[in-house]
Structure 1
Amino acid sequence: MLQAIETIKEMNKNNKRKIPEGAPLDFISNRWQKHVYDDDGNINRQYYEMSVLTELRNLVRSGNVSIKGSRQHQDFDNYLVTKEAWQQNKHLNGLTAPPSVAEYLKLKMDALHNRLEWIKANITELDGVNFEDGRLHLHRLEKNVPETAREYSLSLYQLIPRVKLTDLLMEVASWTGFKKQFLHASTLNPPKEEEKSAIMAAIMAMGTNIGLTKMAEATQGVSYRQMSTADSGVNISFT
């Protein structure tokens, strides 16, 4: 998989359009085989890259591939205590729970019994609590947020402009330039101005798992067909 990514990076660097001989193929799953190879047995670059992205996504989600600098997809060993730290502090990590289930349950039952006995003895002194007809009643908590705080909160929200998520993505893209990484699958050109909103909407639809249909219903001026075309015709540049 990593060799395939390096192959694609090298192709993009040298502006090559044909998959070189000897490119890694072992990772391609059975469902991608019929797409990657054309009728003449040649490798289709677009489908080859899509198969690489799909398998890479699956490996990242399963934890078999980690991403440096990522908090969600970091190396699994980073979640564990290092061997050095364990050797230094293992004497401080004694178990706080009893070793057997029976002892643990007895400890919890005793604690619950003691707490109930304390409530029984102090029920008349507890605010908002009473015991009637064999049942324990808790009074509803009253709202204690000052009305002025609520008014300030509403006034602050009114200062924030209402923007579409696609427009927000477009603005962030203008700062970072990441939209230039979405190249056309056949021409390798960056998206045209009229294509950018459809690409941003497709990114949100796939990134939030709401799908293209619901995104088309929630986004004015961008149709399902436009997002579908953008989703299938865009090639991410490995740079």
Structure 2
Amino acid sequence: MWRPVLAALDWIRSKVDDGCRYVPPHAVPVDEVIPARWRSSVIDEEGRVNRISYELCVLAQLRDRIRSKEIWVVGADRYRNPDDDLPKDFDARREAYYTGLNLTADARAFSSAIREELAQELLLLNANIPRNDKVRLLWRGENRISLTPFKPLPEPRGLASIKTEIGQRWPMTGLLDVLKEAALDTGLLEAFETSASRVALPKTALDQRLLLCLYGLGTNAGLKRIA
């Protein structure tokens, strides 16, 4: 599945200086590159390939392949060669690692077990959902499964006493101030790492945003109210 995408990238690279807007479908890699949902945007009514739409489609396919590590980026960390994720002695101790994870080394047996488990869960869902008044299947919209929100849990025992004690000890101290002091004392913000290749924000601004995010999520105030 990844070879056609790389072939499409090679074609795009070779046509960088070509100003053509449309190309015939036989001139570009099409099979296993253009999904069904993209075809109406990439191929017009005359059967021509819109080059701009084609390039966007190929980049979208490249993104998906990189995320699944069918294609990897040399020198990258998150999207590196998946073989680099394995222990250095994996080839020599393959059986020991599989045993430690309680997994079979037989790929067919592994995938068969996954398919069987998925089939069983789907059967349970199919049998249960008509009687489950907490779940509804919708026929319109992006979210086709509607879940009834859970009822609020009762307040834990002792929470009122804790609130009272904190209010008496620090009556004028806000929770955000407490969180900030805890972060300064423990250095907990250092445990957060970016998923990007670099950080553009100054550390002070980044720490401030992290504190606000933690406060918004931890208090259920939400990020929009904190922003």
What TM-score does the superposition give when structure 2 sets the normalisation length? 0.37
Greater Rg by CA: 1
Compare relative contact order (CA 8 Å, sep 6+) and give the higher one, 1 or 2.
1
